Every structure is written in structure tokens, then in C-alpha cells.
Structure 1
Amino acid sequence: MENPTLEIQLKTLPELPGVYQYYDANGTIIYVGKAKNLKKRVSSYFNKTHDSGKTRVLVKKINSIKHIVVDTETDALLLENNLIKKYQPRYNVLLKDDKSYPWICIKKERFPRVFSTRRVIKDGSEYFGPYTSGKTVQTLLGLIKGLYSLRTCNYDLSEAKIEADKYKVCLEYHLGNCKGACEGYETEAEYSNNIQEIKEILKGNFKDSLAQFKSQMKTFAEEMRFEEAQKIKEKLEILENYQAKSTIVNPKISNVDVFSIVSDESYGYINFLQISYGSIIRSHTLEIKKKLDETDLELLELAIVEIRQRFNSNSKEIYVPFNVDIGENIKVTVPQLGDKKHILDLSVRNAKYYRIERFKQIKITDPDRHVNRIMSQMKTDLRLHEEPRHIECFDNSNIQGTNPVAACVVFKNGKPSKKDYRHFNIKTVEGPDDFASMEEVVYRRYKRLLEEEAPLPQLIIIDGGKGQLSSALKSLDALNLRGKIAIIGIAKRLEELFYPNDSVPLYLDKKSETLKVIQHLRNEAHRFGIEHHRNRRSKMALNTELETIAGIGDKTVVDLLKHFKSVKRIMEAEFNELEAVVGQSRAQKIYSYYHKK
């Protein structure tokens, strides 16, 4: 190590939990990380070779290290999260504070108002949320308004002012939306009871409110107050209908946070569901851009801390797809079956849908990012050394053993480049020999590219199994291109990918984007090859005996066939009939040819 200061800092690091910060030569913080053991974790950056090029670049830029020792790993998680948000280091995943989420506020005042807000003021008021959707907030407020009569005015309803008749009831009272607390028509105890029920509903607990309304309805019915009983019945229906829509799992599952992750080469998508009394009361998906090829475990742990802070969650249990370490006071459950597994699967599905939607948006708004992501994914999936920006796919077509041809289609950045498509008529092979035909066309294609000094592809795909792949490899060997271009063979319904000198095929996920690109390539090669084969067969069908007559070309043959409809009628035609169609000179040649025979 060339930096003596850095070497001393490494040697003096404590073997305790904490947070470390890397600085570059300019004194700028470039990375923040947490560790159970600071000495071991930080030393690992310098005493081993990293697979990731990004990590190698980071290590080269580290000029000095600072660290903060904490009591527990939970403290380290929280401190790491806060430092990342504060300094936004270049090599950390991006975490942003988002303070624009709506809340439902129950104001600290006599006869509290209930309303939505995006500003949290620490004045003793109670806030529920934040909610990820304004629509959810409006639905809840609409439900509360339908169930309870609450005031909407901002008067100071102190006892003294009410007793002094300072206020008069407004239109809301006459419409039945408010019970007139401003004139003392409703007691504070009655109003407070409604507020308590509203708090339970906002927590997802409908049980107490349902029981309360049913009891009221029964009392009114017994007292023959049927009109009031009917109003309570309508409120019950509103509440039961809302509960039916929101309850998705076992009502016993309460006060639980659910987290799942779906990731690709560049991004991680972490879905969060908050469950209360069997209902999803919050759903949010966080997109995190990877900076140092972070694992799903690293991303999920970071996201859990961030999301729980952002949404002020105090749940004592979390459901996750694999074990995570986020603190001593939280129960971590990895569901295997039943209702718990069902809710985790739902979270995974939400993360996948969010990822798909983001892809659609990115494809429109940022096509370069879309292409870069697919290329990076293909590089990983197909075990390549570089991204396959230029791919060529070969397919043989010799239907019924006639007119053997081959097609070469070209994709650039994952899309067809039709101007670069080429077809080949097989010249050196007699009969239907797919292996020899493949060897010929691959040799001809790359011999020409080398002669013209044209760019070579990063990937060659051979439509066929091991035999076709071996034939193509012979040509690459002959041209000294073996190892310079990656080459794979596809066999049997795109289920198997064969590599040179590897008897075990690779199977791709049938839903992967890599497979979709390969399917598109193969379909294009097949279509282009069949089209050329069909054209050749059509041309051969017109190669009648007429074309063997000296001085008679394609246009003359077509004109004659259009007029006489068959070769037999042309053979039997009189001279003057032929002359009327093709002229004296050519009529004489055709008439003489057939009559001499």
C-alpha cells in the first residue's frame, strides 16, 4: 500500500460494530458502510481481489478512512442510513427523503378536526400515515365522514366561548354533517368517543366500530326509533363494505411489515406492505440504483431501515423472503406456507409489477437506459465477457432437400438491423447437409467481414444443437477467430443453449428478457431464410424449357405464359399466334425450336 496514513488507519481500526467512511484525495466522502466488526470489514476491501470493476475503482480512490463506533448493529444500520442521506456519497445507493406523502391528522384541540395534510407539525396532534396515495387518504376521509358527524370549522371551541354563545351553528349542522358542538348540542365525551373509534379504523381495526354500531342499531330498534336504526344500518353497510375490500389475509395478522425484493443488474425494487388486522393499510415500492453490484441481502437490509424510518413504522415483526439482520428488537419471519406466505407472495408480485411498469416508462422516456439494462442482463445471463451489442444469428433452410440456402440476421443494441441481413445460396455442399452448410456460410460470412475490415459481432448464435455448433466452430478456427467471438448454439424450442467444449446446456428462465431477445433473433432468422428459400423455389418453377431457347429471356417467358396459360399450348401454337404476342424474331425462334423437335 503506497499511502502510509491509510495503512496506519487500517491497523488501528477497532474490532467493534460501527460505521466507516471513505474519503478521496479531495477530502470528499465517497462511500459509507456499516460493519459488525470494523477492522475485518474495512480490511477486506484492501486484502483481496474484487470481481466488480466498480469496487476496484472505489478502492483505488480511497485516500483516508474515518469511523464511528456504536453500541449495537441496529445503531450502525440507522447511522449508515442517515449519513448516506446526508452526504449522498458517489458509490452508495441513492436514498432520498420524500416529505411529500399525505398524512391524516387528528388535531390536538377540543372537538378535534380530522383532515389530510402534507405538513407534520409537532404540536401534540396525532398523525396517521404517511400514505403512499392521496386517493387512499380521500377514501378513508370519505369513509369517516359517512360514519361520523365531525366539525370542519376552525373555531376555538373552549367551554367559556361556547357558554358565552359566541358561535352559531352553520349549514353543516342543518345538513346533518355536524351535531353542533359550537352551541353545546354535542358533549365532549360523545365527540371523543367517535374520535377513538376513528383512530381504530385508521389503524385497520374495524371490530370495535362494527360492534358499537350493531349495539346502537339494536337499541334504536327496541325503542321503536326505526328511522335512526336505519341510518345506523346504512353506516354498518358502508363500514362492512370497506372492510371486505381491505381485508386480504387472516385478521389475526396485525402490526406486521412485509418486505420483498426483485432485482436485475442495475436496480433493486423493494416492496413494502404494512398489515394491520388482516388489511393492507400501506403499500410502497422503493427503486434503488446499484453502485457496487450490491447483493439482494445488502439492498433489502438498507431498504428496510429506510422505509421503516420514512413511514414511521413501529411494527415488532417483519416478513421477508430470506433472513436479514436489522436489530435485536424486531422479530424476523421467513414464511414457508399458509397466510404468511400468501402475503409475502403478494408483496413479491407487487415488486414485479412495479419493475415492469418502470421498464415501460423507461423505454419511452429513456431508451438508452432500457438498452443498457438489457445488454447488461444478457452479458450476465449468457456468461459473456462483454455486452452483446452486435449479435448475428444463422439458420439453414433446405425444405424437402431442394435449393439449400442459409440466413444471417443481425441485431444491434437488441434490435433488428435489417440493412445488415444477408442470405446465402449454398455452393459447396451437395444435398441436404445442415452441418456442412453451416460450416460454409459461417466461413463465407466472417472471411468477408475480415477482408472488408468490418466490425465483428460480440456474439454468434447458431440455430441448432451441438453438431451445428461444432461445424460453425471449424470455420472460426480456420479464420483464427476462435475465442475472439462468443458463440452459442440453440436447440429444441429454445430450451437449451450449448457452449463450445461444454456438454451441459444452459437453461434460461422462460420469462427472461435475454430469452425474448434470442427468440426474436431466431424467429427473424427463420423468417428471412424461409422467405429467400420461397423466392428461389418460385424462380426455379419458372425455369421451363422455354428459357433454354437461345434469345428467349424471363420477360418473354412471362408474356407467353400470361397469354397461353401453359407451356403445352405454346408448343402447339401457330407461328402467327406467337408473333402477335412476342414479335416476329422471337416467334420464329420458339416455333423453329419446337417444330425441329
Structure 2
Amino acid sequence: MSESPFEALLAQSLALPSLPGVYRYFDAAGGVLYVGKARNLKKRVSSYFQKNHGGTRIGHMVGKIVRMETTVVRTEAEALLLENNLIKSLKPRYNILFRDDKSYPYLKIASHAFPRMAYYRGSIDRRHRYFGPYPSAWAVKESIQLLQKVFRIRTCEDTVFSNRTRPCLLYQIKRCSGPCVDLVTAQDYAADVANAESFLLGDSQLVLRQLESRMTAHAERLEFEQAAELRNKISALSRVLHQQSVESTSDKDVDILVVKVQGGKACVNLAMVRGGRHLGDRAYFPVHVEDAAGLQAEEEAAATASIEQQVLEAFIAQHYIDVPVPPTLVLGEPVGRELIEAISTQAGSRITAVFQPREQRRLWLEMAQKNADIQLARLLAEEGSQQARTRALIEALELEPDELDTFRIECFDISHTAGEATQASCVVFENHAMQNREYRRYNIEGITPGDDYAAMRQVLTRRYGKLAEAMAAEVDAPTAGDASGADARPGTAGARMPDLVLVDGGKGQVSMAREVFSELGLPLSLIVGVEKGEGRKVGLEELVFADGREKVYLGRDSAALMLVAQIRDEAHRFAITGMRARRAKVRVGGSQLEDIPGIGPKRRARLLQRFGGIRGVAAASVEELASVEGIAFELAEEIYRALH
């Protein structure tokens, strides 16, 4: 008698070494369930399979495990870093996850005889100087404006700089010193750039002393115009320093991190201080908070870490994998010493974590906490509004989904221009939000141009045909497993039918959808058409049903109608943008002409210009094609064959 998967996993775990490492659990479909680290791999991993966890979160997860992988490392710090690298790349179901955000912006001072400062986001080029990172584009642009006012550093592109014959408007309003037309010497400009860099690094008092020294030197040499110019810079810089909402301290580069957890959601607010200046905040919202935190609490029975601590530790470990770590972290919750040691090792410098700070750091922490409260309250309000819309639609249509959060809507729209470049779109709404990763476009071929009904038939058949076959097979062979059953989503291995299928159109489109679903053996009650009201005015739409129910008008102020309109408009936007891109490609010749040997850019342009587009080229005879300059008769025959 062969051993069960559970017994095999237990045997495998008992054979592991008693060393630090990282383990990964996988389900039957190959998805990653959980990534964890252990001081002792054998002890930790075997604990999952040596007892019955019942209906706990661990029990639910263990019941899904069919395979595991482990990696042995040298130290706990290495295990922690590897764990979070894998969490970021594999995105397991039972770990706290922070979605990848856009890279942080920087203020760049480009290498040049007269250096230019600019907003920058991307990979670092060592030829230039970079300051930051900044929490937002607004923070960078504010700093650039500040430096323009005080130090008058240029912001123009090098091509513009090289071709100026007179100073631009920025010079006139005293935001640039005019190096493009030699209104400032290279030496003075270099001094301004050096002072700007010192200011960004937090040495504002040093900059003031240097400016005062230069002003005094000019005054002693009776160079009063130059002295007055420096006096104005000193005054501007003093005003800037006085206007800073947060006082400068001995801290130059600090990150302030606080956590707020409420209603099953969490917010990590990151405030950034660079060069002694508070640059602003950025909020992060992790997913899987309840599952992951509950799992960790059960996994480590002796652990006393609160959910806030767990979320904060997950953020620090995942966030600073890709982002430079400042020398000081001010934290709203205590974190493990091994975590700080691990990121210090990775950064190659000593990182200090401060909990329960005093004086200025405490003010920073209180500001960050307030922002976290505001951001999480906003998120909960928005999600509550979306949930209310979903619930209102379900009640209006008298639907009975298994769960509100998994209620799924797929909406279809057709777009073309006079029959040209017809495309259908399918957008997906689930978990109270549009799921743009699941959007699909379908190029419609083989129909009469402009026949929207035929286009709808084609897209629905392509979308649900294979799924209907899988559902029929499930009925015929119910014990064959559920990998391709009615819970499968179109286009994926584990697909299921949506709870509602919206089509943008009235009776005609709904009738076509009814025919397709009848042929495929799918329930007609899923189909709802969105029919435009009188005068095609927004808010007057009516819902048309494929199963014979009477039309429904939800009301202009109905939350259900607002959700239907949102999804319908998104389907239309997605279809029309795809159609325009396809039409543009066709109108410039597309790949049809590019793929013909002997047709380069010049010949393609001549053909399209002569015949007014690819359709005209396709309609031309061989003789007409050969009359175009540069097109020999043999090539004209080749073009004709390729387009017919």
C-alpha cells in the first residue's frame, strides 16, 4: 500500500538537516502556498506534519500541501533575506505581501561643464549625482523649484542649452543664472552647484557660511553687484530654512515607519527625511494580512509579536531588498534584532532602529502615525463604498453568489470604425474592483465589416466554448477531479464561469448572447444587456435579460447602476483603445507590407500614399501596383499574392 502525500511529506521533513534554511510549500496546481524561514529546518518543517491542526489556518494550509522545497543556508540572516526575496518573487498565498511599487524618484544633477538638475526615475548612472530617494514626484519637483530660487541651477535639456542665443524666461524671473549664453562664469556656476549639493546633503549652515564669506570678499573688493547677488541668495536660503515645516536636526537621512491595522486591512506609512528635510510620506497596503498573521501566530505558539509588528517586519524585510536603507529607522513598533542585523549586512553599513523616540524624532513619528490613520480610513471608506455597490447590484438582480468577495462579472464590448479593425474587449470585475490583469482583447475576423452581432457571437464563443466543454466533461465524469470543472475561469487551468455576463447593447446583442449560451449549454440567467436609455443619456440605462425577465430600470442614483456603468464604460474604453491601436497599425501598412521581401520603408510609404492605405493597396491590380515608382512587375505580383 503506497503512502499518502501527508506521510511522504512527514518522512521528507524528518530527513531534513538541523540547520538554518528556507522552506516553500506548493499546492496541487503548482502554486506557492507559503514561504518560511527556520533556525532549525528539521524541527520547524516536521512540526507541520506531526499533529492534527484541525480547522486552524495552519490546518487549512497543510491540507493543500502536496510538495515542498527547502534551501539550507549558513546563518539566520541569510535565511531571512532569502525568505523575503522569495516572497517578493513567488507571492505566496499565506504570506503578508507588499505589492511592487514604482521605483522611487530621485533628483539628478547631470555631469556637464554646466550641470543640469532634473527629476529622474530609473537605473543609476555613476557619471551623475543622485539625491534621494524621494517619496513622490511632487517632493522632487518641490526641491527643484527650491534650488532654482536659491541657487539658480539650470533645468533645460542639453540640446536646448547648446542652441540658445538669448536667455530664456527662467533667467528673466531669476530661476536660472543663464549659463547657456555665458551670463555666469563657469567658476561661479560650479560654486552654486556645489552649494546646492551641500544643501541637499543637509549642510545648510555650511552653505550659509560659505555664501556669507564670498559676499564679504566681494564687498571688500568693492564688487557690490556680485555682493548683492550673494546677499539675495543668502536671504532666499534663510527664508527656505525658516519655512521648513519640520526643523532640521542632527539626523540627515532617516526613514520613519508606522503601522495601522483595522478592519482586516493594514497600512504601513513611510515618511522620509533626507538631508535633514522632511520630504513627505508614502502609504503601502499589504495583502493577505489576516491569513498570514494568523498563520504565523499559530505557527509560533510562543511568539508574542502583535499583528502590527508582523506587518512592519514583513515590510522592512521586503522593502529594503531593492531600496537603499538610511542609517536610522524610527519605528512605531519594535522589531526583531536579527532583522535589523540582516538588512545591515545586506546594506554593508550599520543600521540603527529606534523605538519610542524622543524630541524631533517623536514629532516625526506622530506625523507619520496620523497620516497612516488617514490613509487607512480612506481605503476602508473606498472599499466599503465598492462593497455597497456590489451588494446593491446582487440584490437588484436577485442573485445568490457563494461569497460577496468572489462575485465575478465579465463585460463585453465591440469596437470598430466603419467595420475597420474590429475588436472585442472583455473586462473583469471581482473582489469589488476591476481586475485589469485579467482583461482580454479579441481580434474579430471573418465577419461582414460592421456586423456587431456576429462579432459578439464570435467573442462569446471563443471566451466560453472550451469552458463549456470542460463543464460538460465534469458532468459526464464527476469523479475525474475538479481541475477543469465548473470552478475554472476562462483562459486558466482553474477557471469558472462568472456570476454575471454583461454585454454592451440591448435586445439584439442579448439575443445573440442567448443563442451562443444555448448552443454551449450555459445558463441564460447569467446574461444581462446594458441598453442605453432615451437620448442615450447616462443614468437612463435599462438592463435587458436573456432568460425572459422584464427590463429593469435601476434609477439614476442607484448604486447598482453606478457599478454597471463603471464596468460598461471600462469595457468600452478597453475596446476602443485596442481598436485604435490596431487601426493605426493597419493604416500605416501594418505587418502585411513589412513582411513582403523587397518592401522597405520608402516603397511602403509610396504604396500607401498612392492607394490611400492598406485597403487600397489590397484592392489594386498588379498593373496598378507596378505603376508605383520603385515597384517592378515581379514585386507587384509578389505584393498582390501576399495580400490576397
Name the structure 2 match of 1:299: 311
Give the drift of 1:278.
4.3
Give the drift of 1:354.
1.5
Query: Could you give the per-residue CA deviations for residues 105-132 of structure 1, whole angstroms, max 9, x where no partner exists?
Result: 2223333211113333535333333423
Aligned partners of 2:96 and 2:292 also within 8 Å: no
* Structure 2 counterparts to residues 371-386 of structure 1, below 5 A: none
Residue 13 of structure 1 aligns to a residue in which SS?
coil
Aligned partners of 1:22 and 1:30 also within 8 Å: yes
Name the structure 1 match of 2:250: 252
**Cα RMSD over matched residues?**
3.4
Q: In 1, Cα distance between the equivalents of 2:354 and 2:175?
A: 45
| Match 1:211 to one of 209, 231, 235 | 209
> Is 1:66 aligned with 2:69?
yes
Structure-2 change in CA distance of 1:14 and 1:365 (3 Å): same
Name the structure 1 match of 2:333: 321
Name the structure 2 match of 1:5: 8
* Structure 2 counterparts to residues 61-140 of structure 1, below 5 A: 61-99=64-102, 101-122=104-125, 124-140=127-143
Q: What is the aligned residue count?
A: 364
Q: Which letter maps to 1:355?
A: L
Structure-2 change in CA distance of 1:139 and 1:10 (3 Å): same
Q: In 1, Cα distance between the equivalents of 2:195 and 2:75?
A: 39
* Structure 2 counterparts to residues 170-569 of structure 1, below 5 A: 170-172=166-168, 175=172, 178-179=176-177, 181=179, 188-246=186-244, 248=246, 251-276=249-274, 278-289=276-287, 290-294=289-293, 295-325=307-337, 326-328=339-341, 329=344, 330-335=351-356, 337-367=358-388
> Is 1:37 aligned with 2:35?
no
Q: In 1, Cα distance between the equivalents of 2:78 and 2:273?
A: 25
Q: In 1, Cα distance between the equivalents of 2:152 and 2:248?
A: 31
Structure-2 change in CA distance of 1:149 and 1:128 (3 Å): same
Structure-2 change in CA distance of 1:76 and 1:245 (3 Å): farther
Give the drift of 1:200.
2.9
Query: Could you give the per-residue CA deviations for residues 261-317 of structure 1, whole angstroms, max 9, x where no partner exists?
Result: 111352221122233454323422211121525132221111013333454234255
Aligned partners of 1:362 and 1:370 also within 8 Å: no
Q: In 2, Cα distance between the equivalents of 1:171 and 1:309?
A: 45
Residue 268 of structure 1 aligns to a residue in which SS?
strand
Give the drift of 1:220.
4.0
Is the radius of gyration larger for structure 1 or structure 2? 1
Q: Which letter maps to 1:96?
A: R
Name the structure 1 match of 2:501: none
Aligned partners of 1:251 and 1:277 also within 8 Å: no
Aligned partners of 2:18 and 2:41 also within 8 Å: yes
Structure-2 change in CA distance of 1:292 and 1:249 (3 Å): farther
Q: In 2, Cα distance between the equivalents of 1:115 and 1:18?
A: 44
Give the drift of 1:144.
0.9
Q: In 2, Cα distance between the equivalents of 1:188 and 1:213?
A: 17
Give the drift of 1:183.
6.3
Q: Which moved more, 1:128-137 or 1:334-343?
A: 334-343
Residue 270 of structure 2 aligns to a residue in which SS?
strand
Residue 58 of structure 2 aligns to a residue in which SS?
helix
Q: In 1, Cα distance between the equivalents of 2:164 and 2:328?
A: 47
Structure-2 change in CA distance of 1:117 and 1:353 (3 Å): same
Q: Which moved more, 1:144-153 or 1:39-48?
A: 39-48
| Match 2:151 to one of 141, 148, 167 | 148
Q: In 2, Cα distance between the equivalents of 1:215 and 1:77?
A: 51
Q: Which letter maps to 2:308?
A: D
Structure-2 change in CA distance of 1:205 and 1:76 (3 Å): farther
Give the drift of 1:235.
2.7
Q: In 1, Cα distance between the equivalents of 2:125 and 2:117?
A: 16
* Structure 2 counterparts to residues 162-173 of structure 1, below 5 A: 169-172=165-168
Gap regions ≥5 residues in structure 1: 372-597
Residue 371 of structure 2 aligns to a residue in which SS?
helix
Structure-2 change in CA distance of 1:356 and 1:147 (3 Å): same
Identity of aligned residues (%): 29
Gap regions ≥5 residues in structure 2: 294-306, 345-350, 393-644
Structure-2 change in CA distance of 1:357 and 1:60 (3 Å): same
Q: Which letter maps to 1:151?
A: R
Structure-2 change in CA distance of 1:133 and 1:152 (3 Å): closer
Q: In 2, Cα distance between the equivalents of 1:220 and 1:24?
A: 76
Name the structure 2 match of 1:397: none
Aligned partners of 1:97 and 1:310 also within 8 Å: no
Structure-2 change in CA distance of 1:216 and 1:367 (3 Å): farther
Give the drift of 1:226.
4.6
Residue 61 of structure 1 aligns to a residue in which SS?
coil
Name the structure 1 match of 2:445: none
Give the drift of 1:171.
2.1
Structure-2 change in CA distance of 1:138 and 1:224 (3 Å): same
Q: Which letter maps to 1:12?
A: A
Query: Could you give the per-residue CA deviations for residues 202-251 of structure 1, whole angstroms, max 9, x where no partner exists?
Result: 33442222222233333444455555444433333332333234352561
Name the structure 1 match of 2:23: 20
Aligned partners of 2:328 and 2:354 also within 8 Å: no
Q: Which letter maps to 1:360?
A: A
Q: In 1, Cα distance between the equivalents of 2:150 and 2:276?
A: 21
Give the drift of 1:23.
0.9
Q: In 2, Cα distance between the equivalents of 1:211 and 1:51?
A: 70
